[in-house]
């Protein structure tokens, strides 16, 4: 079994410091978190940006400041930029940080979802626009799969030459409006639905983060943890990003699954650039 790639999604667009004071918001806070998570076994950091007031922003200069701060503390960590639409719907702005920074990875959601508070809208036109921006920037997309049909849309991007094979998927389970419930059967169905040369990771939302992560380890996939998806270490006990990475790395080690370094993760994912 390949070594385990741990992605840490440290901030997201939705959580607030009021909900969890460990949430990193500023570039320096995100970089400090990145170092702790890198030390604990994370090889990819999934990055969202916030403005001075803590609100989500797509400003590429803020992403650039975050990337600089991360690189200063952990030069080898793989930076994965979010192109998610919660910070704004304009596709040009969603692609702006990818075009400016040309990160090794970026997220790409291949469909629309009814989130509890709003519609997360990704038309085929927007998806292809974002895919093209990533392809032209030499950025590997992580296909964010909120429902099974999104797999076919991702594969169609590869068929159209807008994404390179092998594809990499992130299965998001347990989010209201997305793939529900977060069960082994649902995860297995998703794993069996992707092209066999693909790689995949799993992001369980909220209390599903730990059981889905453990299943990901056992099934030979990879795991995403972090405060973007889950604010709690256990019921009533707040987590930090580092404690979530430490726990999943510890469990993987106990299960005999070795943890990938960032450069080993690059090899597994076929990333073009090596630090």
What gap in Å lies between CA 99 and CA 72, rounded to an integer? 21
CB atoms under 10 Å from CB of 115, counted, come to: 15
Asked whether position 82 contacts Zn ion by CB under 5 A, the answer is yes
Nearer to Zn ion, 82 or 112 (CB): 82
User: Measured at CB, which residue is nearest to Zn ion?
Assistant: 82
61 to 30, 65, 98: CA distances (angstroms):
15, 6, 11
What gap in Å lies between CA 123 and CA 247, rounded to an integer? 37
Tokens found for residue 176? 């209201």
230 near 213, Cβ under 8 Å? no
Number of shown-chain residues binding Zn ion (CB under 5 A):
1
What's the farthest any 2 CA atoms get from each other in the chain?
47
Contact region with Zn ion (CB under 5 A), list: 74-82, 130-138, 214-222, 238-246: 74-82
Asked whether position 33 contacts Zn ion by CB under 5 A, the answer is no
Work out how close the CB of 175 gets to Zn ion at its nearest, in angstroms, rounded to a whole number: 12
Interface positions, 116-155, toward Zn ion (CB under 5 A)? none
249 near 259, Cβ under 8 Å? yes
Asked whether position 83 contacts Zn ion by CB under 5 A, the answer is no
Work out how close the CB of 54 gets to Zn ion at its nearest, in angstroms, rounded to a whole number: 16
Nearer to Zn ion, 106 or 265 (CB): 106
Residues that bind Zn ion (CB under 5 A): 82
């Amino acid at each position: 079994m390949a070594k385990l790639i741990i992605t840490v999604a440290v901030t997201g667009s939705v959580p607030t410091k009021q909900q969890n004071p460990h949430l990193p918001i500023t570039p320096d806070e995100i970089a400090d978190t990145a170092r702790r998570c890198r030390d604990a076994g994370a090889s990819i950091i999934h990055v969202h940006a916030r403005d001075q007031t803590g609100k989500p922003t797509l400003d590429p200069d803020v992403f650039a400041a975050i990337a600089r701060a991360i690189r200063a503390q952990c030069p080898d960590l793989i930076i994965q930029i979010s192109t998610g639409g919660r910070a704004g719907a304009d596709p040009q702005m969603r692609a702006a940080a990818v075009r400016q920074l040309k990160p090794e990875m970026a997220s790409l959601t291949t469909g629309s979802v009814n989130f509890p508070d709003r519609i997360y809208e990704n038309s085929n036109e927007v998806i292809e626009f974002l895919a093209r921006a990533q392809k032209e920037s030499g950025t590997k997309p992580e296909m964010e799969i909120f429902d099974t049909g999104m797999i076919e849309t991702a594969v169609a991007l590869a068929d159209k030459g807008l994404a390179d094979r092998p594809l990499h998927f992130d299965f998001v389970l347990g989010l209201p409006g997305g793939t529900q419930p977060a069960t082994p059967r649902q995860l297995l169905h998703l794993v069996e639905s992707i092209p066999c040369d693909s790689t995949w990771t799993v992001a369980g939302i909220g209390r599903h983060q730990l059981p889905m992560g453990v299943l990901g380890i056992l099934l030979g996939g990879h795991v995403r943890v972090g405060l973007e998806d889950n604010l709690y270490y256990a019921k009533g006990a707040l987590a930090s990003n580092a404690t979530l990475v430490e726990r999943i790395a510890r469990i993987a080690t106990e299960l005999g699954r070795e943890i990938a370094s960032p450069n080993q993760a690059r090899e597994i994912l076929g990333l073009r650039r090596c630090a």
